């Protein structure tokens, strides 16, 4: 049975999501697993009601409160695709830094076996936790903390994704990457770039993918 609250109508329907997926394909997203889960997860329930009819625009970052934004569908797709393309295959255990509204978390929750997610703003994390509980996710563990330090108790991780930009790559995070693991994160202050870091037998291998724009990684918790 589909819960009425999540089924959506008009601008929030399955058909609208299918259109979003076609736009993602047109922009070069190729991973079928990513496209499939993005056609399933109701992005509109992660944003305020007043913004729901814009939830499926591929390049729109919408406000989620506390000065933060939900990442665009396009960047969620790009980062998920990069994470899944690691040499060892899709990661089973993933760490996400910057839960925000929990949409990227929900996508990862369908692509990985276990997801650990860290958020520094308590009310955002609580709301994301409620949304994912309502959507019946049972494989996501939340932590209210400064993500600079990762989530050592859950590690090591085959995949780490960061959805806020750090000035430099946090060493505590690469330390929690399993051998063969991959980290995808924006790095930079004024100019930001998406980095892919693989932990190989011989050390960390770093690739810069392209320019991006994220909110900054901020120290401490509130
Ligand atoms: N993937 C989220 C992105 C939200 S924006 C979404 O689509 O909703 C980035 C998030 O990172 C914000 O919620 C912000 O509070 C959080 N963040 C910033 N610095 C952080 C830190 N040091 N530790 C954990 N979370 C952090």
Instruction: Domains for the chain: give ranges and CATH numbers.
Output: 3-212 (3.40.50.150)
The two beta strands, 68-69 and 114-119, are unpaired
Angle at 69 between CA 212 and CA 65, to 5 degrees: 160
Q: Which protein residues are within 6 Å of ligand 1, measured from CB?
A: 64, 68-71, 97-98, 100-101, 103-104, 118-121, 124, 146-148, 163-164, 215, 217-219
Render each residue's pLDDT in the chain as its tens digit; 222 residues: 445 456 555 667 889 999 999 999 999 999 999 999 999 999 999 999 999 989 999 998 899 999 999 999 999 999 999 999 999 999 999 999 999 999 999 999 999 999 999 999 999 999 999 999 999 999 999 999 999 999 999 999 999 999 999 999 999 999 999 999 999 999 999 899 999 999 999 999 999 999 999 999 999 999
User: Would you state the structure tokens that stand for residue 199, as one six-digit string?
Assistant: 């932990």
Asked if omega into 156 is within 30° of 0 (cis), the reply is: yes
| Residue 73, token pair as written in the block | 């569908």
* 217 C-alpha to ligand 1 centroid (Å): 7
Q: Tell me 176's DSSP state.
A: T
């Amino acid at each position: 049975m589909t819960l009425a609250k999540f089924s959506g109508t008009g601008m929030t329907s399955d058909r609208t999501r299918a259109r979003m997926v076609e736009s993602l394909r047109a922009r070069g997203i190729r991973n079928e697993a990513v496209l499939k889960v993005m056609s399933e997860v109701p992005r509109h329930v992660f944003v305020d009601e007043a913004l729901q009819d814009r939830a499926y625009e591929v390049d729109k970052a919408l406000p989620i409160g506390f000065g933060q934004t939900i990442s665009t569908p396009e960047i969620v797709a790009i980062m998920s695709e990069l994470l899944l393309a690691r040499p060892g295959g899709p990661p089973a255990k993933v760490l996400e830094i910057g839960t925000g509204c929990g949409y990227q978390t929900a996508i990862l929750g369908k692509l990985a076996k276990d997801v650990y997610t860290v958020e520094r703003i308590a009310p955002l994390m609580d709301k994301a936790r409620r949304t994912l509980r309502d959507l019946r996710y049972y494989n996501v563990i939340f932590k209210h903390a400064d993500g600079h330090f990762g989530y050592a108790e859950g590690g090591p991780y085959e995949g780490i994704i960061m959805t806020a930009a750090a000035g430099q790559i946090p060493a505590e995070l690469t330390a929690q990457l399993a051998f063969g693991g991959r980290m995808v994160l924006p790095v930079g202050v004024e100019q930001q770039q998406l980095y892919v870091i693989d932990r190989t037998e011989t050390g960390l291998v770093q690739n810069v993918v392209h320019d991006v724009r994220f909110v900054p990684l901020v120290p401490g918790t509130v």
